[in-house]
Amino acid sequence: MAKKFPIAPANPHRVCWGCDKYCPSDAMACGNGSVRSPHPAELFGEDWATWGLDAQEEADAQTAAPAS
């Protein structure tokens, strides 16, 4: 079973995010390459989880929900 992927880790630069091992950036054991894979928050910003393939569906669902 795969580990749960952290949405907003405290120090994403310390870990390689290329596989489920989450190796330290200075001791990669998986052979994923010579450089670590960055966390999506490092590449796309802190709101990376709120946009993407399902973003339009979520926006439609929020506008269809009655305001309380």
- Over residues 18-51, the pLDDT tens digits come to 888 888 888 878 766 678 889 999 998 888 888 7
For residue 68, what pLDDT band results from cuts at 50, 70 and 90? low
- What is the Cα–Cα distance from 59 to 51, expressed in whole angstroms? 10
Burial environment of residue 8 by CB neighbours within 10 A (0 to 12, 13 to 18, 19 or more): exposed
pTM to 2 decimal places: 0.63
For residue 48, give every residue at least 6 positions away whose Cβ sits within 8 Å of its Cβ, in sequence order, or none: 40, 41
Q: Using 50, 70 and 90 to split pLDDT, how confident is the model at 8?
A: confident
In angstroms, the CA 30 to CA 36 distance is 11
- pLDDT tens digits for range 51-65: 766 666 666 666 666
